[in-house]
Structure formats: C-alpha cells, structure tokens
Structure 1
Amino acid sequence: MAWSALDRLCRLPQRKTPPPARPGVEGEASSALARATSGAVGAHPNLSGVSLLDDAHDAFAARMQLAQAAERTLDLQYYIWHGDRSGTLMLEAVHQAAERGVAVRLLLDDNGISGLDTILAALDRHPNIAVRLFNPFRIRFPKAIGFVFDFHRLNRRMHNKSFTADRAVTIVGGRNIGDEYFGTGDGGLFADLDVLAVGPVVDAVAEDFERYWDCASAYPAAQILPRMSESKRQELAKRASIIERDRSSRKFVERIRDLPLIRSIVDGTIALTWAPVRLISDPPEKALGPMPESSLLAGQIESAIGEPEHELCLVAGYFVPGRQGTAMFTGLAGRGIAISVLTNSYAANDVGVVHAGYAPWRADLLSAGIRLFEICGKSRHPQSGKERRRGQRVGIGSTLRGSGGGSMAALRSSASTLHAKTFAVDRKRLFVGSFNFDPRSVHLNTEMGFVIDSAELASRVADRFEDTVPAMAYEVTQSTDGELRWIERAEGSETVHTREPDMTLADHLIIKVASQLPIGKLL
C-alpha cells in the first residue's frame, strides 16, 4: 500500500491552461538592441550575423550584458541552472530586468535546478516573470525517487540552451548556467562553445522557444513548486551583492563591466561573420516518447549540413559512437574522408561511465584511419581552488546537487573537461549546439543547434586540430600489433604512454564491466 501511495505521489497533475500572453512583446522591435541591429541585418538580406564565444568569461559576461541591455523581453531556456556564483548573479540580472519592466520567461529542465525551488517560486510570483519547468518531478526531494516510479518519462530531458533578448540577439550553444561552464568558480572548467547571433535566425530561436513554452511537458512553476513569499527575492539580491564584492569574484565581475561585445552591438561597431544560419532542433514531443527519426534533430543534420566530401572535424565531450556510429565513421573514412575527433579522456570526463560507451570502439576507429584526441585529465591551466572550502555556500542555491545537478569534474580543483558540441564539414559548414554524439542526444533528450555556412568559421575549428589540439590532448594511436598508445605533447617534447593515462586498475575494471552492460542507449 505504501508503494502505491508513493506511485501516486510521483504522478504529475493535469497541466493547467497557460496564462494569457505576457506584456512587453509588442514593443520588441523598438528596443535599443533591435534598433541597433536592424541596419546591419537589412544590409545582409537572408543572412545572420554570428560571433563565436569560446572564452568562458566572455560567454558569461555576454549573457549578463544582454540581461542588462534588454528593454522588452528575455526568454531563457536551459538544461542546468546552478545556484552558485554565476547562477545567482544571472538570476539577479533577470530579476533586475523584470524590475525595469522587462517580460522574463525562464524555461528550465527540472532535472538540473537542485536547490533552487524556493527562489524560482519567489521569482515566479513577480508580475513580470514566468517560470516553467520541463518534465517536472512531483516529489521535490530527493528527486531520484521519481525515477523508481516513472523512469520512462523522467529519463527524457530538455537539453536545449538559448538566451534571447528583445527578439533581437540570441546566444545558443553548449553552455548551461553554472560556475564550471564560465570559469567563475574555484573548481574545474568545462571548455565549451556558444554562438551569439543577430538576424533571421533569432526569429527561428524565438519561435522554437514558443513551441517549447507551450508544449505539454512545460508546467507552470506554481503547479509544481511550493508557494513562497516574495521576500525571498530580497535574499537573492543580497546574495548577489555579496558575490560581486567577493575577492574571488573580481575577475569575472570586471569582465561583465569591461567586455565591449554588447556595447559594440548597440553602437553598431561589432564585427560579425555574416552567413546563412539555420536552426535545427528536436520537437518538444520527443520528451513524451519515441518519434520518427526524420522529425528529430539527428535526422535533420545530414540534410542541413550535407555529407562530407573531404574532411570532418568533430568536437564532442560525450562521444559514444556505438556500432551504428562506428560503421558510419569508418565507412566515411574508407571513402577517403579525413576524420578527426576530439573528446574527453576518462580522467577529464565528468560522467566516467560514458567512457564505457566510447572506449570499446577506439580500435575500430583508429584502424580505419580516424584521428582520435582525448583531452588531458589534468588541466594545463589550473585554477587556484584555494580561496574557498569545498561545499561553502557562495550562491542562492543549496550546496547539495541532486540528480542532474552538475558535474563531478567541477569538484576537481584543476580538472578541465571538454563540454563543447561542434563539428566542421569540408571547412565550409559548422554545427554548434547542445547535441552530443551519443544515444541519449539521438533518442532521449531534446536538442538544438545552429548550422552555419561559413568557410571562415568552419576552417577556424578545423585548424585547431593542427595548431591547438595536439598540445592540449593525448593523441590516441595504434602500435603495429594493435595495442593503443597515447602521445602526450608538451613544450616541444613527446611522451608515449603504453597504458591509458590517469586510470587506476579499479578504473579499468569498472569501465570493462560497464562496457558489457546493456546501458548504451542511456549514455
């Protein structure tokens, strides 16, 4: 009987009818951001202007400045939002925008907002802020209980990431909101890539946000979260003020002030790459169950970016090719396509079990002539990690991170983890987004990304496999007898490892056992 009661508690209530349209939308076209970009957009018909955000501090500062510059609307869609330094400052930035009269909508996957229930509930009570939770858990703590009773539903998550201001400027890419994604904490850094864009593709992102906002899986926060006093918002402002004054926060707070990116958008001096840009994304209904592959992002990629003719350069933090993917890559290599892949080593991966879905296929990939690089487990640019004790509260959220709450790599003071999801085809076209080359992105999570027809940007990514990647990653090779070797290059010298670096005997045993389990589709 107790089991049945828990089962009922885990079930979602019927979703209430969404409230009427928010204020402020009608004036989007008259905002300073819209006016500032309209001239350049008009001068480049059918093209969008893009700028790659590969620097972590710049990516954070750009979002903060967009929130500060918005006059009409802010639409934010994220898989993970932490209550740490960056997450607290970002929440306060959107809160301040709402105080100015900006209509703010936060669409957050419920698996990645551990510790934020009270502040999100308080923000949702603001007349200019609406919060919705995607595929929510009914039991709030511990959320993991929900997986026991409703695994099929809760295993499907919204992995999309977008930040759109006044329907004039948007940022899409691989970064969630949290210290490890922006290099603003004491722990490790997730190396990632975003795209700031203006022009027609912004409308596509806005329309995509609307279909997610209105979908059956997006629940108004008031239906799920406990009712909170509006005074909780005062705590958010107080906590953000403490962070801004904290000595360890000085560098990235100064970057918010000094980054010229948004200022150059407003004054019309920003240097953008103008190119055809197409948004591809999964339908939100993917979270409800299996759908035809042709309707999914994975089924759209080939038609959007084209089949490689000469070269494919792929960067994927979670690379799980499986039998089908390995056959595809080796088939391309067999036709003379030069393929290079950059992914995480075991020590660099924040989800160690993912290595079990990647490691068994390395020999086949290498035998086909594919170049494999694995990010070194120890950062070449370690952060201090000494200014705060682990677990000390610095933000508005709980120090506990539950299911989907973040990375273990972020807890390793010098760890650097690859989190980017991008690939370049024939030095002509580039994909940047949230899509990992793993079964979870293909079949379970919803994803989004930009396909950019720019030889300049695609070549920039491809060139890094020659001038940057070899110095920051092990190159995996095979000896004449088929044994794997890891080449480490540093300061003009090479070290060849005959055993996989930074792995203990216990690590090898765990990965070997995990690789035999039927968990490939969950990775």
Structure 2
Amino acid sequence: MPHLLQGLHHRIHRALGAACIATVALLAGCGTLPSQEDRPETHSIAPSAQGPLGSAVVPLAQQHPGKTGVVAIDDGHVAFGARIALARAATRSIDIQTFIWHNDATGTLLFDEAMRAAERGVRVRILLDDLNTVGLDPTLALLASQPKLDLRLYNPYAGRSARGLGFLADFTRLNHRMHNKSFTVDNVVAVVGGRNIADEYFEAGADTGLVDLDVIAFGEVVKSVSSEFDLFWNSPSAYPAKKILAGVEPESRQALARRAQTIRDDPTTAKYADAIAHAEVVQRMLAHTLQPEWTTATVVHDDPGKTLSPETRTELLLLPKLMTAFGKPVKSLDIISPYFVPGNAGTEALASLAKQGVQVRVLTNSLAATDEKSVHSGYVKHRKELSQAGVQLFELKPEAAPIMARANEIGRGSKAGLHAKTYAVDGRSIFVGSFNFDPRSARLNTEMGLVIDSPAMASKLHAVVGDAYPSIAYRVTLAEDGSLRWADAGGKVYTTDPETGWLERTFVDIGATLPIEWLL
C-alpha cells in the first residue's frame, strides 16, 4: 500500500508540474519557433586586395605568411572608434556576432553605421543573441528589412512578450546563450574580445564604465574567426529575424537616422564623434603605417551544438581547447575574470598549481564593483581555500584607475567594473575573448576567443595583475585566525568586503549556501 501511495503521489506531482508549465506557456504567449527548412546557408566572402582595407592589409599579411598581426585595445573610446572607422571603410562585408546590443548612444550609432554600410552595397550579417533584446524589436525589424543586411537572432524567444514567463516555460533551451563577440570587416580585419555593444562597454555609461580588452587581428587568424562566425550563423539556433519578428512594425529609417544625428550633435556626447575621428589604429592601418606584432594566434570556441545539447562532446567545448592551446603552466598563471566562479574542480586545480610552485594570481571584481552580486556568491565560498593554497587574490575597487582617470567623460558618480576576460601563462601566451572563469561559460553559454603567442602581451598582463595592488585593487589575505582580510593602499585593513553594506554581504552569503553554482 505505501508503494501504491508513493506512485500515485509521484504521478499527481508530474501531472501538476506539466499543467503548470502548460499554463505558463499559455500566459507567456509562447508559440513555436519557425521552421528552418528554407533558411539559406551563407558563408564569408573571400578576402580581396581591393578596397581601402584590403589594399592596406592583404599585402602586409602576405609579407608574414602563416602569421597574425595583433594590436591590443584597452581603451573603450578607442575600441568604439575603431569599430565605427572599420565599418565606414568596409567595401565588401561586415560580420558582427555579439551577446548584447543596446539601443543607447553607442548602440544607436553602430545600428546606423550598419544600415549605412548596407545601403552602399556592403553585405552585412549580424548574429545577435536574443536574451537582451527587450524593446529592440522595431529597430531590429528595420535592420532585417534592408536587402543587403541579414539579421539572425540566436536561440530566440518564440513569444516576444512576457519574456519572463516564456523563459520559465522553456528554461532548458533559453538558459543556454551565445556569449561570443567578434566584428569582422571585408574578411581581412577582425576585432575579438570581451566588449558587447553598449555604452558601459565603451566607457561611455553615465553610471558605470567597464574595464575591458579587445584585440584587432589581421592575417592568418581572420579566416578562422570568419569560419567560427559561419559555423554559428548556419547553426540550427540562428533564426532569420524576419521570421521571428513577423508582424512587428519596423522603426522608420528616418527615425533611426535622426536618433543617430542627435547623438552626434549633442555636446555631451561629443566624445563619441571624437573617438570616431581619432581612431588612430584604423587610420594608421589605412595609411600603411601600422606596425602590429606578428605572431601565431589560434581561435578557440565552443561548438554551437552546446546550445541545444547538454551532452555536447567534450572535444567540441572551448575550455579543453583553451587548456590544450595554453599547455600546463610551469612558472605563472595570471587570470583576469570579472565573474570568477572556479567551482570545486577549478579551485582544486588552481590550488594544486600554487602548491607546485606556480605563481597563480587572480584579478576579479570586488563585491562593491561587480554588477552581478549573485555570481559573486559563487566566488566567495572558494576564497579561503584558494588563499590557503597560496593563490593570490586581487579584487578591483569600484573607483579603479585607469578608467576613473577619464571619469569626467563618463559621468559624475561613475564607478568602474571589470569586464575583461584574459589569461596569461608563463609570460609567453595570452587568451583574449568572451570566456569567464565560471560554470556558465564552461557548461551553458557558448564562448570564443584568441590564444596569442606573445611574450610582450603576456608580460604586460602579468605586470597589470602585479601592479593592481594597491593602486586599483584590494589584496585578499588570511589573518592568523584564518579569517579573510582586505588590504588597502593606505595601509587600512578591512575585515569585511570593503565599501559594502551588511545587506549586500548577507545576500551573497546566503547565495553561497544555495546549490546554484552551476547556473552562475
């Protein structure tokens, strides 16, 4: 009899669960995604020595066969200006892959620039993850209506309203996102890094500026960046925006142009125009005077199958490829990751390296600087074990330099946050890309980046981490009683997370006790 009652209870529970899901789906207006049967498959256009970019880059690359030219960009204004200048120089193609594209000042200007390129005959392909597109549908519908501009939404919401309920109804699928970022022009120049397209990522936000890193690449690796784009573009999760946005009234072309012109004319946003006018890296490229570092670079990325299949084979995931490309650290491992959630396995691996004599150093956001308090809860539970093993932990201050040296351009009351995801091994090679050191990047989202053999860049990163304390970061240490301490530049020592309130700390402490680390 007890077994019968248990079985009945189980069936009732499942039936109620199914009914709840069905109700949520109905409330969310969740339809089904359109068929992909008639979706055309397109690929990157072969590079050419024609046009301003091709004539500048192709001959230079031919002088360095098999090599990649790289230039790092750590200034958000320069990163924004470079994208605008590259788009304006395009004559054949622009391929943009991104996780976020906001309708703010920088986002509007880049929307307008993409339209302008398409209007003059450039083939523009935009692959945009659909998680953060709330309120964008009219603008996206406008872009999708331009004959030379092809927009696809990655892993989209079937229903465009009540997204929160839609997310719950289709949680397993929609919890997997495309976090990749690349900006490739004429298939001869590619920008790869951690920046999304929004004001805060270009240090133009009124409230927050994010410290980030991009690499402009030329030569051999660009074809691999384009191949990665094509793989995701033609994947089952990339849906033509025209089908997803059927019935949406597009924003008028004139309205977008007016919004963009208003931004260009506004004295308070003159820094954007200045960034465009002084995109020195692109101007030097076009003038044939740019001297990048020529080296070996490798694209590492997840397979898009990771989005739909949790059982994606390990060899198709980015993390094992990254570890293979780097090799085992012997002397040093420097990690810059805004969301650092090593988990038990990662903590054990880093602790083991430190105990073997490898200098392991981590620069991540402090609780006061992070924009994701819940993610921070997955980090705090491992701080003590990492410190005990000899891993050096540095936490970025919210008023961190060098970004705050430009605070008058960002806005009063601004704070800095870390967004760069970059790692260096033994002062010889460096990763720049979208991969955070956390379970979400490892298991849920798709990611990409470049592994660059560059002692110069790796040594610079090593120095940045080494110089972080005391100028821009607190150093986390252990007291004699085993509790954590935060050291400041002035010799002040904190016994709790600096510049935070008890409510923030309590929220994070509670989060650290919950079984949610796999989601972070």
**TM-score clears 0.5:** yes
1:416 aligns with 416
Say whether residues 1:448 and 2:435 are aligned partners: no
Tell me whether 508-517 or 314-323 shows the greater mean CA deviation: 508-517
Q: For the Cα contact (< 8 Å) 1:87–1:179, is it kept in 2?
A: yes
Secondary structure of 1:269's aligned partner = coil
Aligned to 1:482: 482
1:211 to 221, 228, 231: 231
2:324 counterpart SS class? helix
Q: Distance in 2 between matches of 1:353 and 1:125?
A: 39
Query: Residue 10 of structure 1: CA displacement?
Result: 4.2
Alignment of 1:112-511 (within 5 A): 112-227=132-247, 232-290=252-310, 291-379=312-400, 381=404, 383=407, 413-489=413-489, 493-511=490-508
DSSP-derived class of the 1:112 partner: coil
Q: CA RMSD in A?
A: 1.9
Q: Answer 1 or 2: higher relative contact order, Cα 8 Å, separation at least 6.
A: 1
Which is higher, the Rg of structure 1 or of structure 2?
2
Counterpart CA distance in 1 for 2:26 and 2:248 is 26
Pair 1:42-2:39 in alignment:
no
Q: Report Cα offsets for 1:399-456 as digits up to 9, x if no partner.
A: xxxxxxxxxxxxx942211000001100000000000000000000000000000111
Structure 1 spans left out of the alignment, 5+ residues:
388-411
Q: CA deviation at 1:383?
A: 3.4
**Separation (CA, whole Å) in 2 of partners of 1:385 and 1:270:** 28
Structure 2: how far apart are the matches of 1:461 and 1:113? 34
Aligned partner of 1:220: which letter?
P
Query: Is contact 1:44-1:274 (8 Å) kept?
Result: yes
- For the structure 1 residues 20 and 234, does the alpha-carbon distance in structure 2 shift closer, same or farther, using more than 3 Å as the test? farther
Percent of residue pairs bearing the same amino acid type? 42
* Matching residue's letter, 1:211: L
Measure how far apart 1:479 and its partner are. 1.1
The answer to whether the Cα contact below 8 Å between 1:62 and 1:261 also exists between their aligned partners in 2 is yes
The one-letter amino acid paired with 1:259 is A
Tell me if structure 1 keeps the 8 A contact 2:140–2:250. no
Secondary structure of the 2:462 match is: helix
AA partner of residue 300 (structure 1): K
C-alpha distance in structure 2 between counterparts of 1:483 and 1:225, whole Å = 54
Distance 1:226 1:71 in 2: 30
Give the CA deviation at 1:132.
0.2
| Residue 510 of structure 2 corresponds to residue 517 of structure 1 | no
Gaps of 5+ in 2: 1-21
Alignment CA distance shift 1:227-1:73 (3 Å): farther
| Equivalent position of 1:403 in the other structure | none
Corresponding position: 1:75 with 2:95: yes
Could you tell me whether the CA contact under 8 Å between 1:372 and 1:476 is conserved in 2?
Answer: yes
Is contact 1:18-1:220 (8 Å) kept?
yes
For 1:26 and 1:301, locate their aligned partners in 2 and report how far apart those are by CA, in whole Å. 27
What CA distance in whole angstroms lies between the structure 2 residues aligned with 1:11 and 1:516?
37
Which amino acid in 2 is paired with 1:310? K
Equivalences, count: 495
Aligned counterparts of 2:33 and 2:248: Cα–Cα separation in 1? 20
Deviation track 1:470-514 (CA, whole Å, cap 9, x = no partner) reads 31011111111111111111xxx3221122212222222211211
Structure 1 residues 339 and 245: alpha-carbon distance in aligned structure 2, compared to 1, 3 A threshold: same
Residue 9 of structure 1 aligns to a residue in which SS? coil
Conserved 8 A contact 1:79-1:160: yes
Letter of the aligned partner of 2:455 in structure 1? A
| Aligned partners of 2:24 and 2:165 also within 8 Å | no
Q: Is the 8 A contact 1:476 1:486 kept in 2?
A: yes
- For residues 443 and 177 of structure 1, what CA distance do their matches in structure 2 show? 24
